[in-house]
Structure 1
Amino acid sequence: MATVTPLTVTASPLSGHLLRHRRRGRLHAKHQPQPPRRRPRTARLYCAPDGGAGEVSAPPAPPAAEEQAPQEQPHDFNLLAVNRSEFNEIIMVIDSPAARYLVLDHNKNIHSVLPKTTVWTNSYWDEFVSLPPVVPLGPVALLGLGAGTAAHLMLKFWPWLQLVGWELDPMIVELSRQFFGMSDLEKATESGGSLSVHIGDALSPSATVEGGFAGIVVDLFCDGKVIPQLQEVETWLQIAKKLMPGGRIMVNCGGADVEESLSSSWVQNPTVKALCSAFPGQLNWKRLSEKESVNYVALTGPLPGLDEWSASVPSELSTKVKQWVPCELA
């Protein structure tokens, strides 16, 4: 039985945007000495004032009395499970009033989120909901399933979808079924859609279905970075072979490797560069806003008709899909 450890985090303008400015969101918790008479398994966490949005760390030394700001209200974070596996030295399930998080790696990267107060994540996972209207009818692959954030969203709006997901770590699948409702996704909806879960290498030649996929969502990270294979042209050519005619690939490409402004070109992102080389003239891209996660996302194939695409997606995405543009080599 998992132990529930209550954690508290002092609210700040950053506390509501754990996924902001990150390739994947990061939730940092550093140990600090416990004051006397405090419950021994309780820690107080603070949003780092200068560590980048989305990072939570131990507080700095308190300022002088005349510099202290008014005390802000705390929000509770509960540590529902901590584990490790052959593939991840740190696996944590963290609960808050607003959402539940799957946190991996020493860098405490958020790999999945299950919102409680809204359907949307306000991050790159929302973009995947826009894929079904621009691909043929057929199964959609999720390469990098995590705790099923994309699957929850896609089946919410397209309940007839046949999703096929691959996750390398069986421990993550076990925890996802226990804490993130993945078992419910594996049951058929009233419209016949469901998630089929496969444990194994998402890039393996066996990660396919007969007749090919109508769409493939790629969201593969390790230690907070896109896995190196996704920066190689050959990897994308092999993934494309798993598509049916007219199928498309949608990719979370992470952020840029260097500091840049929001208006900078995609050329700083090695995954987008590899995709553009693999699919010349057949790649589109966009960059999410600062309020979302500042990730790049990419879509293979010709640029869809934006007005028609906008009209076919949930209203929350109708403006966002019009931000896609063709990706052209400089």
Structure 2
Amino acid sequence: MATVTPVTASPLRGQLLHRHYRGGRVHSKRQPHRCLPRTSRLYCAPGGGGGELSAPPTPPATEEQAPQERPEDFNLLAANRSDFNEIIMVIDSPAARYLVLDHNKNIHSILPKTTVWTNSYWDEFVSLPAIIPLGPVALLGLGAGTAAHLMLKFWPWLQLIGWEIDPMIIELSRDYFGMSDLEKATESGGSLSVHVGDALSPSATVEGGFAGIVVDLFCDGKIIPQLQEVETWLQIAKKLMPDGRIMVNCGGADAEESLASSWVQNATVKALCSAFPGQLNWKRLSEKESVNYVALTGPLPDLGEWSASVPSELSTKVKQWVPCELA
């Protein structure tokens, strides 16, 4: 019989990281990356490597649980550590597979099983190819390939080039998240090329520049500090071809910030706005989607044309983009 280990999620300051599952839908709170729900049970799958990573027992969740709610069962398929991450777990559930990193159990990648969509910021990246020139697209912060799966699903001709600093994550992604399939050419000629290394290195580029760059760089549940510096964005922009664009997961809002507050309280969006004055757009995902900020460089696209050119599930969402201007 599989070992059962209780899993709890301790919210970081400024984030509400737990989730509950109701009626098969994921209800998520404010976070830069999702986190395992408090009310869950983790089963170590036989031969799944669960014995490689031990953790002290955790007390049961103190939140009152509605009578109709039951803990979601998760299977631990693999657990390891690397020079870059003390905790790396691959966790499976009936609804999805998750790449979980760090002591706060932040989910850095999702592979849904019952739907194509993640109901989080990864879905936003699918809208980028509709408004950029033809050419390669960079994924800075590849993780287990959630964005790559989505983008090649709807734009199978794309040439994606991803950077991930942790080789252990790439190894596990090929074994458990189907990344090896993404590295094979589709019938339309698209594929994912994987590079292990620093996504912000000057060598993370291609001749002629990228048509688009997706930035999703986090460490310990927080966006990396370099992305709060204007100079970082100016260097990334140099890697674009003419009319290329950058789309960014800027992380979540502070816990003290209300849903009506301005983007200016997000340091990454503020740095972007300074780096691209008059050439930055932003939107804030709804509470059920994760309350993340996402940003897009360049002039605001024609929202009607953009809406008509993306998958129907995104047609309304792209109309929520607005120009970002310094107060």
Q: TM-score range by the shorter chain?
A: 0.7 to 0.9
* Match status 1:279 vs 2:280: no
Q: Which residue of 2 aligns with 1:256?
A: 253
Q: Which residue of 1 aligns with 2:16?
A: none
**Letter matched to residue 20 of structure 1:** K
* Match status 1:75 vs 2:84: no
Task: Provide the C-alpha distance between the structure 1 equivalents of 2:119 and 2:21, rounded to a whole number of angstroms.
Answer: 18
Task: Provide the C-alpha distance between the structure 1 equivalents of 2:161 and 2:108, rounded to a whole number of angstroms.
Answer: 18
Q: Deviations over 1:220-258 (max 9, x none)?
A: 000111000000000000000000000000000001235
Bigger Rg, structure 1 or 2: 1
Matched-pair identity in %: 82
Task: Provide the C-alpha distance between the structure 2 equivalents of 1:193 and 1:148, rounded to a whole number of angstroms.
Answer: 15
Shift of 1:263: 1.9
Task: Provide the C-alpha distance between the structure 2 equivalents of 1:270 and 1:11, rounded to a whole number of angstroms.
Answer: 29
* Match status 1:298 vs 2:295: yes
SS for the counterpart of 2:193 is strand
Q: Which residue of 1 aligns with 2:130?
A: 133
SS for the counterpart of 1:184 is helix
Q: Which residue of 2 aligns with 1:224?
A: 221
**Letter matched to residue 23 of structure 1:** P
Q: Over aligned residues, Cα RMSD in angstroms? A: 2.6
Residue number among 30, 39, 43 corresponding to 1:21 in the alignment: 30
- Residues 1:221 and 1:11: Cα distance change in structure 2 (over 3 Å): closer
- Residues 1:14 and 1:241: Cα distance change in structure 2 (over 3 Å): farther
Residues 200-239 of structure 1 mapped to structure 2, 5 A cutoff = 200-239=197-236
**Letter matched to residue 322 of structure 1:** K
- Residues 1:14 and 1:221: Cα distance change in structure 2 (over 3 Å): farther
Q: Which residue of 2 aligns with 1:310?
A: 307
- Residues 1:140 and 1:229: Cα distance change in structure 2 (over 3 Å): same
Task: Provide the C-alpha distance between the structure 1 equivalents of 2:23 and 2:142, rounded to a whole number of angstroms.
Answer: 27
- Residues 1:60 and 1:190: Cα distance change in structure 2 (over 3 Å): closer
Is the contact between residue 132 and residue 215 of structure 1 (CA under 8 Å) also seen in structure 2? yes
Task: Provide the C-alpha distance between the structure 2 equivalents of 1:69 and 1:146, rounded to a whole number of angstroms.
Answer: 34
Q: Deviations over 1:49-81 (max 9, x none)?
A: xxxxxxxx7424798xxxx95364443210001
- Residues 1:228 and 1:62: Cα distance change in structure 2 (over 3 Å): closer
Q: Which residue of 2 aligns with 1:153?
A: 150
Is the contact between residue 18 and residue 27 of structure 1 (CA under 8 Å) also seen in structure 2? no
- Residues 1:257 and 1:140: Cα distance change in structure 2 (over 3 Å): same
Q: Which residue of 1 aligns with 2:45?
A: none
Q: Which residue of 2 aligns with 1:116?
A: 113
Shift of 1:261: 2.0
Task: Provide the C-alpha distance between the structure 2 equivalents of 1:62 and 1:91, rounded to a whole number of angstroms.
Answer: 27
- Residues 1:280 and 1:27: Cα distance change in structure 2 (over 3 Å): same
Shift of 1:8: 7.8
Q: Which runs of 5+ in 2 are unaligned?
A: 8-18, 42-49, 52-57
- Residues 1:18 and 1:221: Cα distance change in structure 2 (over 3 Å): farther
**Letter matched to residue 286 of structure 2:** S
TM-score norm. by structure 1 comes to 0.85
Q: Which residue of 2 aligns with 1:173?
A: 170
Task: Provide the C-alpha distance between the structure 1 equivalents of 2:103 and 2:314, rounded to a whole number of angstroms.
Answer: 33
Task: Provide the C-alpha distance between the structure 1 equivalents of 2:141 and 2:27, rounded to a whole number of angstroms.
Answer: 20
Task: Provide the C-alpha distance between the structure 1 equivalents of 2:290 and 2:309, rounded to a whole number of angstroms.
Answer: 24
Is the contact between residue 105 and residue 223 of structure 1 (CA under 8 Å) also seen in structure 2? yes
Shift of 1:145: 0.0
SS for the counterpart of 2:133 is coil
Task: Provide the C-alpha distance between the structure 1 equivalents of 2:131 and 2:68, rounded to a whole number of angstroms.
Answer: 49
Q: How many residues align?
A: 301
**Letter matched to residue 196 of structure 1:** S
Shift of 1:23: 1.1
**Letter matched to residue 84 of structure 1:** R
Residue number among 238, 243, 247 corresponding to 1:241 in the alignment: 238
